[in-house]
Protein backbone atom coordinates (compact mmCIF):
# COMPACT_ATOMS: atom_id res chain seq x y z
CA UNK A 1 0.00 0.00 0.00
CA UNK A 2 1.29 3.46 -0.82
CA UNK A 3 2.03 5.75 2.11
CA UNK A 4 -0.17 8.78 1.59
CA UNK A 5 0.52 10.63 4.82
CA UNK A 6 3.76 12.59 4.86
CA UNK A 7 5.53 12.08 8.15
CA UNK A 8 6.07 15.38 9.96
CA UNK A 9 9.70 16.36 10.47
CA UNK A 10 8.82 17.26 14.05
CA UNK A 11 5.67 16.22 15.89
CA UNK A 12 5.11 17.09 19.54
CA UNK A 13 1.82 16.38 21.26
CA UNK A 14 0.90 17.40 24.79
CA UNK A 15 4.58 17.60 25.54
CA UNK A 16 5.65 18.32 29.12
CA UNK A 17 9.31 18.98 29.87
CA UNK A 18 11.03 19.90 33.11
CA UNK A 19 14.25 19.68 35.05
CA UNK A 20 14.89 17.90 38.32
CA UNK A 21 15.57 20.49 40.98
CA UNK A 22 15.96 20.23 44.72
CA UNK A 23 12.61 19.21 46.14
CA UNK A 24 10.93 18.31 42.86
CA UNK A 25 10.66 19.19 39.22
CA UNK A 26 10.83 22.58 37.54
CA UNK A 27 8.12 22.49 34.87
CA UNK A 28 9.32 24.34 31.77
CA UNK A 29 7.10 23.30 28.85
CA UNK A 30 3.52 22.20 29.42
CA UNK A 31 1.10 20.63 26.96
CA UNK A 32 3.05 21.80 23.92
CA UNK A 33 1.64 20.80 20.53
CA UNK A 34 3.73 21.39 17.43
CA UNK A 35 3.96 19.97 13.93
CA UNK A 36 6.73 20.99 11.58
CA UNK A 37 6.61 19.88 7.95
CA UNK A 38 9.62 18.31 6.22
CA UNK A 39 11.78 21.06 4.77
CA UNK A 40 10.07 23.81 6.77
CA UNK A 41 11.96 26.78 8.22
CA UNK A 42 10.42 27.52 11.63
CA UNK A 43 11.67 30.36 13.78
CA UNK A 44 11.00 30.46 17.52
CA UNK A 45 10.73 33.56 19.74
CA UNK A 46 9.62 34.00 23.33
CA UNK A 47 10.59 35.68 26.60
CA UNK A 48 13.86 34.68 28.20
CA UNK A 49 13.45 31.46 30.18
CA UNK A 50 10.25 30.32 28.45
CA UNK A 51 11.85 27.09 27.25
CA UNK A 52 13.10 27.75 23.70
CA UNK A 53 16.46 26.08 24.29
CA UNK A 54 14.73 23.33 26.26
CA UNK A 55 12.50 22.54 23.28
CA UNK A 56 15.52 22.19 20.98
CA UNK A 57 17.29 20.05 23.60
CA UNK A 58 14.35 17.64 23.70
CA UNK A 59 14.43 17.34 19.91
CA UNK A 60 18.18 16.69 20.03
CA UNK A 61 17.71 13.99 22.69
CA UNK A 62 19.65 15.99 25.28
CA UNK A 63 16.69 16.26 27.69
CA UNK A 64 13.96 13.61 28.11
CA UNK A 65 10.30 14.70 28.13
CA UNK A 66 8.27 14.21 31.31
CA UNK A 67 5.08 13.37 29.44
CA UNK A 68 3.46 13.52 26.02
CA UNK A 69 4.99 12.42 22.77
CA UNK A 70 7.67 13.79 20.51
CA UNK A 71 9.05 12.44 17.24
CA UNK A 72 11.70 13.68 14.86
CA UNK A 73 11.42 12.33 11.30
CA UNK A 74 8.81 9.94 12.66
CA UNK A 75 11.18 8.41 15.23
CA UNK A 76 12.05 9.02 18.88
CA UNK A 77 14.78 11.71 19.15
CA UNK A 78 17.36 9.14 20.33
CA UNK A 79 17.05 7.16 17.09
CA UNK A 80 17.53 10.24 14.93
CA UNK A 81 20.45 11.38 17.06
CA UNK A 82 22.18 8.01 16.68
CA UNK A 83 21.74 8.24 12.91
CA UNK A 84 23.18 11.76 12.99
CA UNK A 85 20.21 13.11 11.11
CA UNK A 86 19.89 16.04 13.51
CA UNK A 87 22.55 18.70 14.17
CA UNK A 88 22.80 21.62 16.61
CA UNK A 89 24.33 25.10 16.26
CA UNK A 90 24.65 27.25 19.41
CA UNK A 91 25.09 30.99 19.93
CA UNK A 92 28.66 30.41 21.00
CA UNK A 93 30.37 28.57 18.13
CA UNK A 94 31.94 26.12 20.66
CA UNK A 95 35.08 25.58 18.59
CA UNK A 96 38.18 23.92 20.01
CA UNK A 97 40.83 26.68 20.10
CA UNK A 98 43.75 24.32 19.52
CA UNK A 99 42.25 22.88 16.34
CA UNK A 100 42.29 24.53 12.93
CA UNK A 101 39.11 25.41 11.04
CA UNK A 102 39.40 22.20 9.02
CA UNK A 103 39.95 20.11 12.17
CA UNK A 104 37.01 21.76 13.94
CA UNK A 105 34.70 21.01 11.01
CA UNK A 106 35.95 17.40 10.98
CA UNK A 107 35.31 16.99 14.72
CA UNK A 108 32.10 14.91 14.41
CA UNK A 109 34.08 12.34 12.40
CA UNK A 110 36.84 12.15 14.98
CA UNK A 111 34.55 11.63 17.97
CA UNK A 112 31.92 9.43 16.36
CA UNK A 113 31.81 5.83 15.18
CA UNK A 114 32.88 6.87 11.71
CA UNK A 115 36.30 8.04 12.90
CA UNK A 116 38.19 5.88 10.44
CA UNK A 117 36.71 7.66 7.48
CA UNK A 118 38.39 11.04 8.10
CA UNK A 119 40.55 10.98 5.01
CA UNK A 120 37.66 10.20 2.69
CA UNK A 121 35.92 13.35 3.85
CA UNK A 122 38.74 15.82 3.19
CA UNK A 123 37.23 16.87 -0.16
CA UNK A 124 33.83 17.19 1.45
CA UNK A 125 35.20 19.51 4.13
CA UNK A 126 36.71 21.77 1.47
CA UNK A 127 33.36 21.88 -0.35
CA UNK A 128 31.59 22.74 2.90
CA UNK A 129 34.05 25.52 3.70
CA UNK A 130 33.42 26.99 0.25
CA UNK A 131 29.67 26.70 0.81
CA UNK A 132 29.82 28.73 4.03
CA UNK A 133 32.21 31.32 2.59
CA UNK A 134 35.41 30.23 4.35
CA UNK A 135 37.56 29.57 1.28
CA UNK A 136 41.25 29.80 2.10
CA UNK A 137 40.75 29.83 5.88
CA UNK A 138 40.95 26.07 6.51
CA UNK A 139 44.29 26.23 8.31
CA UNK A 140 43.50 29.16 10.60
CA UNK A 141 42.77 28.78 14.31
CA UNK A 142 39.52 30.09 15.88
CA UNK A 143 41.37 33.01 17.54
CA UNK A 144 42.31 34.21 14.04
CA UNK A 145 38.67 34.46 12.92
CA UNK A 146 35.92 37.07 13.31
CA UNK A 147 32.72 36.19 15.19
CA UNK A 148 30.86 35.72 11.91
CA UNK A 149 33.56 33.42 10.56
CA UNK A 150 33.47 31.33 13.75
CA UNK A 151 29.71 30.86 13.36
CA UNK A 152 30.28 29.80 9.74
CA UNK A 153 32.70 27.13 11.00
CA UNK A 154 30.04 25.92 13.46
CA UNK A 155 27.49 25.73 10.63
CA UNK A 156 29.89 23.84 8.35
CA UNK A 157 30.55 21.39 11.19
CA UNK A 158 26.81 20.90 11.74
CA UNK A 159 26.30 20.23 8.02
CA UNK A 160 29.10 17.67 7.76
CA UNK A 161 26.91 14.66 8.41
CA UNK A 162 24.17 16.02 6.07
CA UNK A 163 21.54 16.39 8.80
CA UNK A 164 17.90 16.37 7.76
CA UNK A 165 17.01 18.55 10.75
CA UNK A 166 19.09 21.53 11.83
CA UNK A 167 18.47 23.03 15.29
CA UNK A 168 19.90 26.54 15.70
CA UNK A 169 19.83 28.25 19.11
CA UNK A 170 20.39 32.01 18.65
CA UNK A 171 23.29 31.25 16.31
CA UNK A 172 23.77 34.86 15.21
CA UNK A 173 22.76 36.53 18.49
CA UNK A 174 26.24 37.78 19.30
CA UNK A 175 27.01 39.19 15.85
CA UNK A 176 26.75 42.76 14.57
CA UNK A 177 23.68 43.54 12.48
CA UNK A 178 25.41 43.70 9.10
CA UNK A 179 27.10 40.33 9.60
CA UNK A 180 23.85 38.87 10.87
CA UNK A 181 21.93 40.10 7.81
CA UNK A 182 24.53 38.56 5.50
CA UNK A 183 24.48 35.23 7.36
CA UNK A 184 20.66 35.26 7.27
CA UNK A 185 20.77 35.44 3.47
CA UNK A 186 23.42 32.73 3.26
CA UNK A 187 21.40 30.49 5.55
CA UNK A 188 18.26 30.98 3.43
CA UNK A 189 20.22 30.09 0.27
CA UNK A 190 21.60 27.00 1.98
CA UNK A 191 18.15 25.98 3.21
CA UNK A 192 16.70 26.29 -0.31
CA UNK A 193 19.54 24.25 -1.78
CA UNK A 194 19.48 21.44 0.78
CA UNK A 195 15.81 21.20 1.81
CA UNK A 196 16.88 20.77 5.44
CA UNK A 197 14.20 21.29 8.09
CA UNK A 198 15.40 24.20 10.26
CA UNK A 199 14.26 25.26 13.74
CA UNK A 200 15.87 28.58 14.58
CA UNK A 201 15.60 30.36 17.95
CA UNK A 202 16.15 34.11 18.00
CA UNK A 203 15.55 37.20 20.15
CA UNK A 204 15.33 39.42 17.07
CA UNK A 205 11.78 39.81 15.75
CA UNK A 206 12.96 41.00 12.32
CA UNK A 207 15.25 37.98 11.99
CA UNK A 208 12.38 35.70 13.01
CA UNK A 209 9.98 37.00 10.35
CA UNK A 210 12.67 37.34 7.68
CA UNK A 211 13.87 33.74 8.00
CA UNK A 212 10.80 31.81 9.07
CA UNK A 213 8.03 30.37 6.96
CA UNK A 214 6.21 30.30 10.28
CA UNK A 215 7.14 32.05 13.53
CA UNK A 216 6.35 30.19 16.74
CA UNK A 217 5.76 32.54 19.67
CA UNK A 218 6.15 30.77 23.01
CA UNK A 219 4.67 32.08 26.26
CA UNK A 220 6.42 31.58 29.60
CA UNK A 221 5.49 29.97 32.94
CA UNK A 222 4.72 27.41 31.76
CA UNK A 223 6.21 27.42 28.28
CA UNK A 224 3.46 26.87 25.72
CA UNK A 225 2.44 27.94 22.24
CA UNK A 226 1.11 31.51 22.26
CA UNK A 227 0.84 31.99 18.50
CA UNK A 228 2.03 30.67 15.14
CA UNK A 229 2.44 33.44 12.60
CA UNK A 230 2.22 31.96 9.10
CA UNK A 231 4.22 33.68 6.37
CA UNK A 232 4.11 30.91 3.79
CA UNK A 233 1.63 32.63 1.48
CA UNK A 234 3.62 35.88 1.52
CA UNK A 235 6.85 33.99 0.76
CA UNK A 236 5.47 31.72 -1.94
CA UNK A 237 7.59 33.33 -4.61
CA UNK A 238 10.74 33.72 -2.49
CA UNK A 239 12.06 35.84 0.33
CA UNK A 240 10.23 39.07 1.21
CA UNK A 241 12.41 42.17 1.54
CA UNK A 242 12.85 43.17 5.18
CA UNK A 243 10.75 46.32 4.72
CA UNK A 244 7.91 44.63 2.80
CA UNK A 245 4.38 45.15 4.16
CA UNK A 246 3.98 41.41 4.84
CA UNK A 247 7.02 41.36 7.14
CA UNK A 248 6.15 44.65 8.82
CA UNK A 249 2.68 43.31 9.57
CA UNK A 250 4.10 39.97 10.79
CA UNK A 251 6.49 41.82 13.10
CA UNK A 252 3.56 43.70 14.63
CA UNK A 253 1.70 40.41 15.20
CA UNK A 254 4.74 38.78 16.81
CA UNK A 255 5.34 41.83 18.99
CA UNK A 256 1.69 41.92 20.09
CA UNK A 257 1.80 38.19 20.91
CA UNK A 258 5.01 38.66 22.92
CA UNK A 259 3.37 41.41 24.96
CA UNK A 260 0.82 38.90 26.25
CA UNK A 261 3.41 36.23 27.10
P1 LIG B 1 15.09 30.01 26.97
O2 LIG B 1 16.01 29.34 26.00
O3 LIG B 1 13.72 30.23 26.42
O4 LIG B 1 15.66 31.31 27.50
P5 LIG B 1 15.61 27.67 28.62
O6 LIG B 1 14.99 26.58 27.84
O7 LIG B 1 17.08 27.80 28.57
O8 LIG B 1 14.89 29.07 28.24
O9 LIG B 1 15.21 27.51 30.15
C10 LIG B 1 13.85 27.41 30.58
C11 LIG B 1 13.80 27.35 32.09
O12 LIG B 1 14.43 26.16 32.54
C13 LIG B 1 14.52 28.50 32.79
O14 LIG B 1 13.77 28.85 33.91
C15 LIG B 1 15.86 27.91 33.17
O16 LIG B 1 16.36 28.53 34.30
C17 LIG B 1 15.49 26.45 33.45
N18 LIG B 1 16.60 25.51 33.17
C19 LIG B 1 17.28 25.39 32.01
N20 LIG B 1 18.18 24.40 32.07
C21 LIG B 1 18.07 23.88 33.32
C22 LIG B 1 18.72 22.80 34.02
N23 LIG B 1 19.68 22.08 33.43
N24 LIG B 1 18.33 22.56 35.31
C25 LIG B 1 17.37 23.27 35.89
N26 LIG B 1 16.71 24.28 35.28
C27 LIG B 1 17.05 24.59 34.03
MG1 LIG C 1 17.93 29.82 25.30
Question: What are the counts of helices (DSSP H) followed by strands (DSSP E) for the chain?
Answer: 9, 9
**Which ligand is in closest contact with the Cα of 49?**
1
pLDDT of the residue at 131: 85
Distance CA 89, CA 159 (A): 10
Give pLDDT, residue 230: 97
Ligand 1 centroid–CA 55 distance in Å is 10
Integer CA distances (angstroms), 106 to 65, 153, 172, 197, 254, in order: 31, 10, 22, 22, 38
Is residue 155 situated within a structural domain?
Answer: no
The count of domains in the chain is 1
Range of the domain at 220: 10-92+163-259
Q: Please, what is the end-to-end C-alpha distance for the chain in angstroms?
A: 45
Evaluate whether residue 176 is within a structural domain. yes
The pLDDT, as a whole number, for residue 116 is: 46
Mean pLDDT by 10 residues, the chain (261 residues): 71 97 94 97 97 97 96 96 92 91 88 54 84 92 95 92 94 90 93 95 97 98 96 92 96 97 86
pLDDT value for 3: 52
Residue 158 inside a domain? The answer is no
Q: Is the CB of 98 under 6 A from ligand 1?
A: no
Ligand 1, atom nearest to 55 Cα: 6
Identify which ligand lies nearest to the alpha carbon of 50: 1
> Considering the entire predicted model, what is its pTM?
0.93
Phi and psi angles of residue 214, each rounded to the nearest 5 degrees, phi first: -135, 150
Nearest-CA residue for atom 24 of ligand 1: 19
- Does the beta carbon of 18 lie inside 6 Å of ligand 1? no
We report the CATH number of the domain holding residue 87 as: 3.40.50.300
Q: What are phi and psi of 100, to 5 degrees?
A: -70, 170
Amino acid sequence: MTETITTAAIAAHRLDVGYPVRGGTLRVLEGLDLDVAPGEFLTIVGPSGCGKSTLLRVLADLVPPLAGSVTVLGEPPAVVRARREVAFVFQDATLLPWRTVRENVALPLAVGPRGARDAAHAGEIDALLTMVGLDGLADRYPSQLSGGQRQRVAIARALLCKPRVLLMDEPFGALDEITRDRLNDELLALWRRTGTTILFVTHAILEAVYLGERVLVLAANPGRVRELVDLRAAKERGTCPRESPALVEAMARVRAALETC
